[in-house]
């Protein structure tokens, strides 16, 4: 793991390199970010953003989606892949929100994680984007790759990587870590053929320096 001072240096470099880093998913309500995050599993945010306008026009609230026809949901979600499972979870999640939470999205990690189709990573994103209350760091494929390559964590399990990251970054910085790791992984530190010559973190990177 990196020392907190070095982690802070790295974060400041990324802030300067990606000054516009923010959530890439389009949404207007907490419910919509719940569904968008659900659809983003093993799918690009760009594809999700092309899919959700039609989906939310018809089923933009928990009440509407809870009454949706599953086949129709599957058809709308189909472009995002794994559409049968995602449609099933979206429907089940909507029903729980209606029946248990009066159609509101709970502002609590434990309650979010208990919703169908919402794991810890998704709950972290929802807490940050819907309620501006970072409760952790979402370890997606980008955060995992960067953490391993730079040396923030040697773990492979997302929950263990998150625990390592939380020790190195102050809570006030968790919001930026969430956004900047995604942008750095998407645009520079890619899975295949990372752009090491353009990377501002080369001198800190264990993978490159090995």
Pick the closest to residue 116 from 131, 129, 135, 101 (CA basis): 101
Given the residues 121, 160, 167, 198, select the one marked as catalytic.
121
Given the residues 140, 164, 172, 195, select the one marked as catalytic.
140
Pick the closest to residue 42 from 77, 73, 91, 14 (CA basis): 77
207/139 Cα distance (integer angstroms):
19
Per DSSP, 26 falls in state -
| 140 given a catalytic annotation | yes
Instruction: Show the CA angle centred on residue 31, arms to residues 30 and 32, nearest 5°.
Output: 90
CB 191 within 8 A of CB 21: no
Please report the beta strands in 10-57, taking only residues with DSSP state E, as ranges in sequence order. none
| 121 given a catalytic annotation | yes
Owner of token pair 């058809």? 75
Instruction: Please give the positions annotated as active site.
Output: 121, 140
């Amino acid at each position: 793991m990196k020392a907190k001072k070095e982690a802070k240096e790295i974060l400041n470099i990324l802030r300067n390199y990606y000054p516009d880093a923010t959530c890439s998913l389009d949404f207007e309500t907490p419910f919509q970010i719940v569904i968008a995050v659900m659809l983003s599993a093993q799918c690009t945010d760009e594809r999700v953003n092309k899919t959700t306008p039609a989906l939310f026009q018809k089923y933009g609230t928990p009440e509407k989606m809870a009454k949706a026809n599953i086949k129709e949901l599957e058809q709308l979600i189909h472009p995002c892949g794994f559409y049968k499972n995602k449609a099933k979870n979206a429907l089940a999640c909507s029903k729980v929100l209606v029946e248990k939470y009066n159609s509101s999205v709970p502002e609590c990690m434990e309650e979010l994680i208990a919703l169908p189709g919402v794991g810890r990573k998704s709950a972290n994103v929802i807490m940050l984007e819907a309620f501006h209350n970072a409760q952790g760091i979402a370890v997606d494929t980008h955060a995992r790759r960067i953490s391993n390559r730079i040396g923030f964590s040697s773990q492979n399990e997302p929950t263990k990587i998150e625990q390592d990251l939380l020790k190195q970054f102050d809570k006030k910085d968790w919001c930026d870590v969430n956004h900047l790791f995604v942008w750095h992984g998407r645009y520079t530190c890619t899975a295949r053929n990372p752009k090491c010559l353009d990377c501002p973190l080369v001198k800190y990177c264990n993978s490159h320096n090995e």
